[in-house]
Amino acid sequence: MRRRAIDAMLPVYTEFYGNPSGAHRMARAANHLLDDARDVISGALGTEPGRIVFTAGGTEADNLAVRGVVDAVGGVAVCSAIEHHAVLDPVEHLGGRVVAVGPDGRLDLDALAEALDDSVSIVSIMLANNETGIVQPLAEAIEVVRRLAPDAVVHTDAVQALSWLDVAQAAAEADLISISAHKFGGPKGVGALVVGERARLSPLFRGGGQERDRRGGTQNVPGIAAMAAAAEELLADRASALARVAALRDRLADGIRDTVDGVVESGVPERDRSHKTANISHLCFAGVESEALLFLLEERDIMASAASSCASGAQDPSHVLAAMGLDRATAAGSLRLSLGYDTTDADIDAALDVIPAAVAQLRGRR
C-alpha cells in the first residue's frame, strides 16, 4: 500500500470512529471523510460525487453493475470473453451472451454487433485486461452499442486501468465504471462503482439505505479514506509513473525476448506495446509448465502468476488466453509479470537474471 493510504486509515480507527450515518458530531466527522473521498474518486473518474457508490471491492462493483441492472430492468447481459470472472460469471449466471475477442486480445466489434438487439439491457467491456494488459476499444464498442441497442447501458471494469490510463477520458461515455483500491496502492476489499444517469440499478444489499439506497451497509470509512488518499497520490504522479514503468516493462519484456528462444509475448507480435497498460508483461514459454516456473521464481524472490491471481492454481488454461486462440500447449507455459509504481531498475535487473536461467533450467530437465 502507498504510505499515504495507510496514514489516511489510522486516524479513522482512533479519532473519526463515528458511524457516518449517525446524527451527532462524531458521525458527521466520519461522514465528512466520506464526502471528501467521494470528491476525490468522482474527480478521478470524471463524474459527480453523487454518482459514486462505495463497495467492498471490484468484484462487488462488477456484480452490482451486471446483476443490479438486470434485476432492475430485466433484459439480456452481454460481455466480452476476456472479462474478469467478476463480470463473466454473473453474465453467464444470468444466461447472458459472451462476445469473442480477436487473436490480438481486443474485443471483436463485429461479434459485438451480432450479439446486440433490443433485448440487451447491459453490455460490459473492460477497459484493460488483467492478464495481458491489453486495452480494449471501449469508445468504439460504446458507439456500436448506442447504434444497435440504444436502451442498453454500458459498464466498464476499469479495475486494472486506473493506475495507467486516464479513465475519466477513456470511459467518458460509459454509464457504469468499476474500480478497486488495491490496484492502485489502496487497501483490499474497497472499491467503487460509478452509476451514471442512464443506469437504473437494484441494490445487491438492501439494508440501511446507505449510498443513496444503492448499497446497504455501514461504509468502510477507513478503507474508503485510504482509497481516496491512494487515488490522490496516483493522480498527482500518474503521467511520470506511467512513462517510467512502461520503460521498465519494455526493458523486462525485450530482455527476456532477446535471451530466451521460443517465447511468445501475448498480443505483442512486434515490440510495439502502445496498446497495453504500462504494468503487465505476459509471456508464454514453449516447453515449460507455468507451475514449475512459478515455483522456481518464488524460490528466487520473484512473485509472479500464470494468469489472474484469482485463477492461479487452477489446472485449466486461462479463459483469456483460450479466447485469444492460444493453443493449450502455449498457454500452459504462461507467465504474468506485474510491475507497480514502486518497481525499480534493480527489480528488473534481478528478474532478467533469474527468469531466463529458470526457463533454461526447466527446459534442461525435459
Q: Residue 134 interacts with ligand PLP (CB under 6 A)?
A: no
Per the listing, cell 492478464 goes with 131
Give one DSSP letter per residue of 300-360, joined into a string. TT---BSS-TTTTT-SSPPHHHHHTT--HHHHTTEEEEE--TT--HHHHHHHHHHHHHHHH
Within 10 angstroms of residue 206's Cβ, the number of other Cβ atoms is 11
157 or 265: whose CB is closer to ligand PLP? 157
Contact stretch for ligand PLP (CB under 6 A) within 38-46, 139-147, 155-163, 209-217? 155-163
The Cα–Cα gap between 59 and 265 comes to 28
Catalytic residue among 139, 243, 303, 310: 310
Q: Is 40 in contact with 231 (CB distance < 8 Å)?
A: yes
In the residue annotation, 310 being an active-site residue is answered as yes
Task: Answer whether 215's CB lies under 8 Å from 53's CB.
Answer: yes
121 is an interface residue for ligand PLP by CB under 6 A:
no
β strands within 51-205, DSSP E: 52-55, 76-80, 97-99, 120-124, 153-157, 176-180, 191-195
Residue from 33, 126, 230, 284 in contact with ligand PLP (CB under 6 A): 126
Radius of gyration of the chain (CA): 21
Work out which of 130, 277, 318, 334 binds ligand PLP, going by CB under 6 A: 130
Rule CB under 6 A: which of 55-84 touch ligand PLP? Answer: 57-59, 62, 84
**86 lies in the site for ligand PLP, by CB under 6 A:** yes
Per CB under 6 A, the segment of 8-16, 103-111, 153-161, 347-355 that binds ligand PLP is 153-161
Smallest gap, in angstroms, from Cβ of residue 260 to ligand PLP? 27
Residue closer to ligand PLP, measured from CB, 59 or 210: 59
Angle, CA 158 vertex, CA 277 and CA 148 arms, to 5°: 110
Considering only residues 166 through 185, tell me which ones interact with ligand PLP, judged by CB under 6 A.
180
- Contact between 279 and 133 under an 8 Å Cβ cutoff? The reply is yes
Least distance (Å) between residue 277 CB and ligand PLP: 11
Q: Catalytic site residues?
A: 310
The footprint of ligand PLP (CB under 6 A) covers 57-59, 62, 84, 86, 126, 130, 157, 159-160, 180, 191
